[in-house]
Amino acid sequence: MTTRLDPPERSVLDRALGILSVFDGSQRTLTLSEISRRSGLPVATVHRITGKLLEWGALERTDEGKYGIGLWLWKTGALAPRCSSLARAAHPYLVRLHQQTGAAGVLAIRDGVQGLCLDAVFHHPQSPAASSPGRRLPLHATAAGLVLLAHAGQAVQDQVCAGPLERYTPSTITEAVALRRCLTLVGRQGFAVAEGTHTVASSGVAAPVRDERGSVVGAVAAVGWARDLQPLKAVPAVLAAAEALTRQLQASGQQVVRAGA
């Protein structure tokens, strides 16, 4: 029987970060064996490192004995300048957007070649997954993602368009030429509409939020079930929310740390 060994170049920090990275919106709690399989680390190594992560509060154990991200890690992440200041400023506008449209009012930022939902306001417990705070969003398949990608640097656009562009539904854009055309349209019209591109049953509308320098630092979106949200009717409310937040940021001179180009 062969024994799986850790690659010598992987430091303890690399392994710890690798363990934390296996959790996502669809896998919020995992067993040791699941963490081992998803991280590619031996169970013994996972057991040792998760013990330390539990001590730090970076992980927590459920009553069923599974592991999940701990509150300490969430609190630490919330200190990131791009998260805390922008989310606080945006929240009242997200509340108003939810009241106006009945859909979830969402604030998202770009983190590399992914989107990240910073805040969401909704009342229905079964709101679309793209409106869950902390959820990663594909840039090519969500309204907020398209806005963020349309205003990203050329290098980021090239990287995303080079693919692979994951097909989430039959309506997802999976061809680079089509995606570039879509990004041009989003940049020209000032908003993005995505209907059934991330999940078949959901739709979204998003518009850019700019800082005092005019740079896009986030996107405000209305995300809801397709049966309830008529995207084109929601466009004025989404634009108004994004523009109001932009005016606040610009009037206050509040600096928001931007993602890389």
In the block, which residue shows the tokens 């013994």? 44
Q: Is the pLDDT of residue 3 over 50?
A: no
- DSSP calls for 161-201: HTS----SSTTS---HHHHHHHHHHHHHHS-EEEESSSSTT
State residue 80's pLDDT score: 60
Strand residue runs (E) in the chain:
29-30, 59-61, 67-69, 104-111, 114-121, 136-138, 192-195, 202-210, 216-225
- 140 near 149, Cβ under 8 Å? yes
- 196 near 190, Cβ under 8 Å? no
Mean pLDDT of 138-159: 96
State residue 4's pLDDT score: 46
> How much is the pTM?
0.72
| CA atoms of 232 and 60, how far apart (whole Å) | 43
What does the pLDDT look like over 19-35, one tens digit per residue?
A: 988 887 667 789 999 99
State residue 2's pLDDT score: 41
Cβ atoms within 10 Å of 148's Cβ, excluding its own: 29
Cβ atoms within 10 Å of 113's Cβ, excluding its own: 16
Q: In what order do the strands lie in the sheet with 114-121?
A: 136-138, 114-121, 104-111, 216-225, 202-210, 192-195
Q: Which domains does the chain have, with CATH numbers?
A: 12-75 (1.10.10.10), 78-252 (3.30.450.40)
Pairing of strands 104-111, 216-225: antiparallel
What does the pLDDT look like over 72-86, one tens digit per residue?
A: 776 676 656 555 678
What does the pLDDT look like over 221-238, one tens digit per residue?
A: 999 988 888 888 999 999
Q: What is the mean pLDDT of the chain?
A: 86
Which residues, at least 6 apart from 252, have a Cβ–Cβ distance to it below 8 Å?
Answer: none
| CA atoms of 54 and 32, how far apart (whole Å) | 13
State residue 5's pLDDT score: 44
